């Protein structure tokens, strides 16, 4: 294979040299014809100078244009040949550097895209960790107020501090964020171990890039899914907070009602004790003794009236006896009314009785409202529990997506590193092949020069005319000797 490539290169060099020699010979012939025109043409031109001035000017312009075009073509061919000859290892190294810079630019763009993905993942991980650490039950108003106060205090301290201190703190925060990057143990998961082994076997850059892009696309899809779940969690959390706040407000109302109930029950007990004490005091006093006698007389009169009424209803009486019984009943009723008028209760008893009745009605109303509020708070509590279960399910889903994202991202990084390694390897191989090609061209040129020198020496001994190439090789050898 090497001999065939050398022969092809020799043929190309010989053809280029032949083309340059033909161009030089044509230029020499044109110059000789212009210097030595024939006598016939001169005589004809002298006789027809007056008639053909205009035509001569036109022809001279055309010939000058043709000559200029020929000269430009010669210059371009010479420049091309010179450029081909001037391809030194320095120029090749420059080309390689330019290609490497292009590759590095592409690498930088890829790394920037991966950094964006990493930053999005870190933000999601931070938001997820914060949301998981803070449970719905712990998010009370007091905690929020404390956090606000702490933020205000930290803001004041930061304003008092110098800008250098703030920059140092920001750098520390960045370092801590970078330290929060995920860590995956390949030995624990056989799936990742198998994938890593397969990646090490791949050597095609195109396949590596395709697979890397697929995994990056998968990471973007997972990030979008995590964002959706995070928005769902935040919406559900806000709804859960509403239910929780309503439940807490109802529980506060229930506690207030219970306090009112205790106060009313205490009031009722106090009024009952006061009534008992008043009754005891009234019994001990003279008015009490009088009232006792009156009450006994009232009871006797009522019994007597009942007996007489039953007698009239049951027995067959004469008119005189019946009239006597009726008159007796009238007297007893009058006496009873007088006794009732005398047996009126004191004002203390009436006030306490009205207070007792009012407190009893108030207790009934409080019990009804308490029952309603308790049922409503229980309903909100059940709704809150249902939503908290949904939120936990979404959090578990988010954790699984984050694990999948970390694995996918880890695999994409491995593909990226492998791609960089293989691209660097290919660039090294290209450098080696270019250097070897350049060295082979030099060797071929030297061999051609030796061959032409040997042919030139043989012709010189024989007295044969030399070619342009042979003459050039002979002159170069003499110049090198000097």
Q: How confident is the model at residue 304 (pLDDT cuts 50, 70, 90)?
A: confident
Does residue 338 surpass a pLDDT of 70?
yes
Distance CA 135, CA 143 (A): 12
The answer to whether residue 318 scores a pLDDT higher than 70 is yes
Residue-level pLDDT at 186:
63
pLDDT tens readout for residues 196-218: 777 777 777 788 888 888 888 88
User: Residue 245: pLDDT band by 50, 70, 90 thresholds?
Assistant: very high
User: What distance, in Å, lies between the first and last C-alpha atoms of the chain?
Assistant: 39
pLDDT (mean) for 405-434: 84
400-415 pLDDT, tens per residue? 898 888 888 888 888 8
Query: What is the model's pLDDT at position 167?
Result: 61
Average pLDDT taken over every residue of the chain:
70
Segment 23-49 shows an average pLDDT of 41
Phi and psi at residue 134, in whole multiples of 5°? -95, 110
List the one residue out of 117, 139, 374 whose CA is nearest residue 253. Answer: 374
Q: Cα(279)–Cα(273) distance, rounded to whole angstroms?
A: 10
Per-residue pLDDT band for 351 (boundaries 50, 70, 90) equals confident
Quote the pLDDT of residue 333: 84
- Top-confidence residue, 405 or 88: 405
Residue 188 pLDDT exceeds 70: no
Least confident of 57-71, 234-248, 305-319, 376-390: 57-71
Is residue 10 in some structural domain?
no
Task: Grade residue 58 by pLDDT with cuts at 50, 70 and 90.
Answer: very low
Q: How confident is the model at residue 36, as a pLDDT?
A: 39
* pLDDT for residue 308 is more than 80: yes
114 domain residue, yes or no = no
Residue 84 reports pLDDT greater than 50: no
Q: Looking at 66-75, 95-104, 139-148, 247-256, which range is the least confident one? A: 66-75
28 vs 124, which has greater pLDDT? 124
* 334 is a domain residue: yes
285 in any annotated domain: yes
- Per-residue confidence (pLDDT) for residue 410, from 0 to 100: 85
Q: In this structure, is residue 248 part of a structural domain?
A: no
Q: What does the pLDDT read at residue 347?
A: 55
For residue 312, is it within any domain?
Answer: yes
Lowest mean pLDDT among 22-36, 194-208, 229-243, 359-373: 22-36
- Cα separations (Å) of 72 from 17, 19, 31, 66, 78? 18, 15, 16, 10, 10
Q: Is residue 266 part of a domain?
A: yes
pLDDT band at 46 (very low <50, low <70, confident <90, very high): very low
Instruction: State pTM to two decimals.
Output: 0.42
Domains in the chain, number: 1
Say how many residues make up the chain: 482
pLDDT of residue 182: 55
**Residue 342, domain member (yes or no):** yes
Whether the per-residue pLDDT at 482 is higher than 70: the answer is no
Domain with 312, as residue range(s), is: 261-379
pLDDT tens-place string over residues 354-399: 888 888 898 899 999 999 999 999 999 999 999 999 999 999 999 9
pLDDT of amino acid 478: 78
């Amino acid at each position: 294979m090497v001999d065939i490539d050398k022969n092809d290169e020799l043929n190309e060099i010989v053809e280029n040299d032949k083309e340059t020699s033909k161009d030089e010979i044509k230029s020499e012939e044109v110059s000789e014809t212009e210097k030595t025109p024939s006598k016939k043409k001169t005589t004809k031109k002298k006789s027809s100078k007056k008639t053909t001035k205009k035509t001569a000017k036109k022809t001279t312009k055309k010939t000058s244009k043709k000559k200029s075009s020929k000269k430009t073509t010669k210059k371009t061919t010479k420049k091309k040949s010179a450029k081909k000859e001037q391809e030194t290892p320095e120029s090749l190294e420059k080309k390689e550097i330019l290609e490497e810079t292009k590759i590095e630019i592409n690498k930088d763009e890829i790394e920037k895209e991966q950094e964006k993905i990493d930053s999005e993942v870190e933000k999601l991980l931070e938001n997820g960790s914060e949301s998981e650490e803070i449970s719905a039950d712990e998010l009370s108003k007091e905690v929020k107020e404390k956090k606000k106060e702490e933020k205000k205090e930290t803001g004041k301290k930061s304003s008092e501090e110098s800008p250098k201190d703030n920059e140092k703190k920001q750098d520390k925060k960045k370092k801590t964020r970078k330290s929060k990057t995920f860590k995956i143990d390949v030995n624990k998961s056989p799936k990742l171990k198998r994938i890593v082994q397969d990646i090490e076997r791949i050597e095609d850059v195109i396949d590596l890039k395709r697979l890397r892009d697929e995994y990056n696309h998968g990471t973007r899809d997972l990030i979008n899914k995590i964002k959706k779940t995070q928005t769902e969690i935040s919406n559900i959390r806000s709804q859960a907070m509403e239910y929780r706040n309503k439940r807490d407000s109802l529980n506060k109302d229930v506690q207030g009602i219970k306090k009112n109930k205790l106060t009313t029950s205490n009031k009722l007990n106090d009024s009952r004790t006061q009534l008992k004490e008043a009754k005891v005091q009234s019994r001990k006093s003279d008015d009490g003794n009088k009232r006792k006698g009156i009450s006994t007389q009232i009871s006797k009169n009522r019994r007597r009236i009942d007996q007489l009424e039953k007698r009239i209803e049951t027995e067959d009486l004469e008119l005189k006896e019946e009239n006597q019984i009726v008159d007796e009943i009238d007297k007893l009723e009058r006496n009873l009314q007088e006794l009732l008028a005398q047996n009126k209760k004191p004002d203390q008893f009436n006030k306490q009785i009205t207070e007792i009745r009012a407190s009893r009605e108030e207790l009934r109303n409080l019990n009804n409202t308490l029952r309603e509020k308790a049922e409503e708070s229980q309903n909100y509590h059940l709704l809150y529990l249902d939503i908290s279960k949904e939120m936990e399910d979404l959090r578990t889903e988010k954790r699984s997506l984050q694990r999948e994202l970390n694995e996918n991202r880890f695999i994409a990084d491995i593909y990226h590193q492998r791609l960089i390694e293989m691209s660097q390897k290919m660039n090294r191989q290209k450098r080696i092949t270019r250097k070897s090609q350049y060295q082979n061209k030099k060797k071929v040129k030297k061999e051609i020069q030796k061959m032409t020198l040997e042919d030139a020496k043989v012709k010189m001994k024989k007295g044969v005319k030399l070619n342009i190439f042979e003459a050039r090789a002979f002159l170069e050898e003499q110049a090198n000797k000097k």
